[in-house]
Amino acid sequence: MGNGSRPGGGHGVPVSRLVFMGVAMGVVFVIYLGYLFSMQVVDGYIYRLRADQVTRRTAVVHAPRGDIYDRSVDRPIAASRDSFAVDINPAVIPSDEIDAVFVRVAAMVGVPVTQIYDRIPRRRYSVYQPVEIAGNLTLQTITRLAEHSPELPGVSWRIRPVRSYPDDGLFAHVLGYVGEITPAELQVLFNRGYTATSVIGKAGVELQYDEVLRGIDGNEYRFVDARGRRIGASTTNVEPVKGNDLVLTVDRRIQDLATKALGNRVGAAVVLHPATGEILAMVSHPGYNANRFFGPGGAEYFSEISLDPRGSFLNRTLQATESPGSTFKVLMTTAILEERAFPADRTVYCPGYYMVGNRVFACHKEYGHGHVDLATALAESCNVYYYTVGNEYLGVESIIDYSQIMGLGERSGIDLPRERAGLVPTPEWKERTFSDGWRPGDTVNLSIGQGFLQVTPLQLANMVGMIVNRGVIYRPHVVKEIRDPATGATIESFASEALRTAPISEQTFAQVQQMLRGVVLDGTPAIVMTSNAEAGGKTGTAETWSDEHRHSWYIGFAPYGPEKPADYVVTAVWVDASNEWDWWGPYATNIIVHGIYNGLTYEETIMDLRRLRDPWLWYGRGILGQP
């Protein structure tokens, strides 16, 4: 029957195998088709997002800080203005061009090339992250960079708000200044929303109220090519929110008056509204102009201020602690009257010295004041009277108690940073510090504000404030309100807060006020205090390392006798012993008080005080009408 082959040909493939192969190929085709569909359609969005992330960079848009106003709220005394900053992204610069680019940019923006190397160390050359190398630049500088942009790969610029102080250094120690956050500061503040590019307050109100002023940064997304160059327009996704505004208690006219009255003398002046604790003026010299910290030459100027041996950054009103000298006799007078330690009308004989054992303590008047009672001793600043009563009748424990009652030796809690507490020495403190007991000579020195006693001008202003308030010190403060920057609406107002209340009778305070008025009329400052504003006060000269150098103090209030404490203003002026001795404390106070109560500028005040001193001379010159 043939050779026995199967139907369909002896060498053919079985139909079942063909069907299996066809099905398998179909399944593989469907799988590949599904995979391609997933890649192109389902996962396309993810890949596009990744591509965007390669070409899109996020930059922080810094929020403008809130404005700061003086109490008149007429124009800012601290504001934010638009400026330009220049960044360098080292990762997109060819390695053989980095040095040349750094040198070119440094020359164009006016900074030392070492500043760029400091900000972009070699270990960061491969990090794809722009680094700011200069700020506060003008449009002219940016234009020059733009003209040479092909030669400056990795260099970009942006608008960045910069702090501006229109009055230059007038409010330096009140406002403080801002600067770039340091790594140490960032470690502390990171969890409160600060970043490595944040600008923060470094001193004064800028530091104390930084979180109120700083606002909320925004984000800007930039599209760049492989070399980091921007492509197309930038898109801002999150707009920055400006910080809140502040209204201060400080008065620009009074601040200018006090600043010019102090002049170029190293020292401090405080003008306080005792009925509220509001600071009307706060001056410390030498100061600085924070506008010069930014832009070309800023680093050199900052270094110069930092190295100034006089301490330009020191706010002497609340950080300089010195012996109060004879101003302490105001506190002693209060204690003597309240404790009835020695009758006010009883006299002490002053021969010009006081003996304790074999030690001689001198009075400032070589041949003595003769017989003096309390009012005369205060007016003529007789040391011997206070030596005698302090050491023999009042005693060290009472002196310490009244020092603490009137706020010495403790911080006032003013809303400014780095206030110092000063020192009220006690027998326990001396034993602990020097391993030595308290001696009568220590009490004698303490009785006239010398020895170990240390105070700040602000503490003495508070002490006078307690006297005119008849027993209350209100916490001093420099911020009056926080306001919304868009609407001007008040977010928070700071009410007066009683800091301490003294267990001293109003009669005692009234007597002290009357005696302080007598000091101005017939005492040591009478020849200087020529203002027509009725005032009370006390001079002080504090001994230092040299008989030729003494601190000059004056503390006081004006006017004398109003029924309402709201009408008072308290002053404390301190002139450091480093100045040539000219007893300037009361002179400066006379200018300040006269200007305040006659509504005059410094220049007008000087003219008016000259008129009061010699009106006929001015009339003869044709400057004034007949007096």
Q: What is the pLDDT of residues 84-139, one digit of tens each?
A: 888 888 888 888 899 999 999 999 988 889 989 988 888 888 877 788 888 788 88
- Percent of the residues in the chain that have a pLDDT greater than 90, as a whole number: 63
What's the pLDDT tens digit per position in 345-397?
999 999 999 999 999 999 999 999 999 999 999 999 999 999 999 999 999 99
In this model, does residue 545 exceed pLDDT 70?
no
**HEC profile of 6-46:** CCCCCCCCCHHHHHHHHHHHHHHHHHHHHHHHHHHHHCHHH
pTM: 0.84
CA distances from 319 to 86, 140, 204 (A): 38, 42, 12
What's the pLDDT tens digit per position in 174-200?
999 999 899 899 999 988 989 888 899
- Residue among 382, 462, 360, 381 at smallest CA distance from 421: 462
CA pair distance 297, 134, nearest whole angstrom: 11
Q: How many CB atoms lie within 10 A of CB 220?
A: 17
Q: How many CB atoms lie within 10 A of CB 318?
A: 26
- Residue among 82, 65, 197, 83 at smallest CA distance from 136: 83
pLDDT at 313: 97
In this model, does residue 39 exceed pLDDT 80?
no
Domain boundaries, the chain: 57-176+217-248, 253-620
pLDDT at 325: 94
Q: How many CB atoms lie within 10 A of CB 148?
A: 12
In this model, does residue 456 exceed pLDDT 90?
yes
pLDDT band of residue 226 (cuts 50, 70, 90) is low
What's the pLDDT tens digit per position in 47-98?
555 555 555 667 778 899 999 999 999 999 999 988 888 888 888 888 889 9
What's the fold here for domain 57-176+217-248?
Penicillin-binding protein 2a (Domain 2) (3.90.1310)
Candidates 3.30.930.10, 3.40.1160.10, 3.40.710.10, 3.40.640.10; CATH matching 253-620: 3.40.710.10
Written as six digits, the tokens of 63 are 């929020």
